[in-house]
Structure 1
Amino acid sequence: MSHLFWLDLQNLKRIQHLFPKPRGVARSDDRKVLSGISHVIRNGLRWRDAPAEYGPHKTLYNRFVRWSRLGVFARIFRELAQPGPDGKTIMIDSTHLKAHRTAASLSKGGLKPRAIGRTKGGLNSKLNTVCDGRGRPLTFFLSAGQMSDAKGALALLGSLPPAKILLGDKGYDADWFREALAERGIAACIPAHRGRRDPASHDPCMYRKRHRVENLFARLKDWRRIATRYDRCGELFLSAICIAATVIFWL
Structure 2
Amino acid sequence: MGASGQTGSDRPGTAPVRGNFQAAFTAMAVVVALALFVSACGTGGTGARDEGPAHADAVGGAGAAKSLAPAATPSASAAPDPTQAVRLVKADPGVSSEVKRELKPCVSDDYPVDVSYGELTGASAEDIVVNVLSCGDQVGVASYVYREEDGEYHNVFKAEEPPVYAEIDRGYLVVTEQVYAKDDALSNPSSENVISYKWISGRFILKDRTRTEYGDLGGGDESATEG
TM-score calculated relative to the size of structure 2: 0.28
More helix by share: 1
More strand by share: 2
